[in-house]
Amino acid sequence: MTVDLIDWVVITVCVAVIVLWVKAFPYPSILIRWLLPPKKRWPEAQIRGWLLKGSPPSSYLSFFNRDPERIAPAGHGLVAPADGLVTSLECRNGIRYVVIALTFWDVHVQRSPEAGRVSEISTMGSEFMDGEGRDFAFLATKASPVQMRIVVQTAFGQIAIRLITSFAARRLESFVMVGESVVRGQRIGKIMLGSTVVLEIPERWSVLVREGGRVRAGETLVTMDLS
């Protein structure tokens, strides 16, 4: 009797494992998902499928919405406004555009690179983006042309942070208002799901980051020469 019960339990467990594996295929089963790093736990194709259906699971949303504390390095210098990969350091008309690409697995809370006062917050759609030129590296590939531009007047000059959506990410949120004072590394906004953040700084400021390097919002120094 005991042997039969054990056999029944083993068979039941095996069947349950197979059912869960088949249900999740071709993505990781819930039984092993927690053992995997984020990129393997939630593959990009699976996340995009959830977005099309409008129903990401709570486990992924909890991970995505994480907002860890960050400590800005001592001294002067602009810190990165976002987590992600630096994809361009393009310069135009005296302005350098530090482009940071975010993935579905990056922290999506943006931070102020320097202390100052918020002088302008503009939300722009397709007319603005088409008007300033689709040949910008950070605009050319965007299928959902929506962005928010936050301008901060600092003791060293004006900087601006652009939060730009992709096709899958169309929601932008600002945590600050015009006229508000911000401190270095303060949370200023959030993009829902993978997209792009662009830091606009004077071209004369030398940068410490390089294309292909990863940065962390509020911690990685972008430039120290603010003269």
Asked if residue 85 belongs to a domain, the reply is: yes
Asked if residue 70 belongs to a domain, the reply is: no
Query: Could you tell me if 47 and 92 lie in one domain?
Result: no
Q: In the predicted model, is pLDDT for residue 138 greater than 60?
A: no
Query: Could you tell me if 13 and 108 lie in one domain?
Result: no
Which residues, other chains included, contact 153 with Cβ-Cβ below 8 Å and sequence gap of 6+? 116, 117, 119
Q: In the predicted model, is pLDDT for residue 2 greater than 70?
A: no
If you compute the radius of gyration of the chain from its CA atoms, what whole number of angstroms results?
22
User: Residue 17: which domain range?
Assistant: 2-64
Q: Where among 38, 64, 90 does a domain terminate? A: 64
User: For residue 160, what is the enclosing H or E element?
Assistant: strand 157-164
Pairwise CA distance, residues 204 & 227, whole Å: 8
For residue 221, the model assigns a pLDDT of 96
Q: Where among 25, 40, 64 does a domain terminate? A: 64
Catalytic residue among 29, 195, 206, 227: 195
Q: In the predicted model, is pLDDT for residue 129 greater than 80?
A: no
CB distance 142 to 126 below 8 Å: no
For residue 179, the model assigns a pLDDT of 95
Query: Could you tell me if 49 and 91 lie in one domain?
Result: no
DSSP string, 79-117: EPSSSEEEEEEEEETTEEEEEEE--TTS--EEE-SS-EE
Q: What's the number of domains the chain is made of?
A: 2
Query: Could you tell me if 27 and 87 lie in one domain?
Result: no
78 by Cβ neighbours in 10 Å (0-12 / 13-18 / 19+) ranks as: buried
pLDDT per position as a tens digit, 145-191: 567 889 999 999 999 999 887 555 557 888 999 999 999 999 999 98
CA–chain centroid gap for 24, Å, is 27
For residue 74, the model assigns a pLDDT of 87
* 195 annotated active-site: yes
Query: Could you tell me if 87 and 188 lie in one domain?
Result: yes
Pairwise CA distance, residues 190 & 29, whole Å: 30
Q: What is the CATH number of the domain that holds 88?
A: 2.70.70.10
Asked if residue 147 belongs to a domain, the reply is: yes
Q: Where among 29, 64, 99 does a domain terminate? A: 64
Query: Could you tell me if 113 and 210 lie in one domain?
Result: yes
Query: Could you tell me if 125 and 179 lie in one domain?
Result: yes
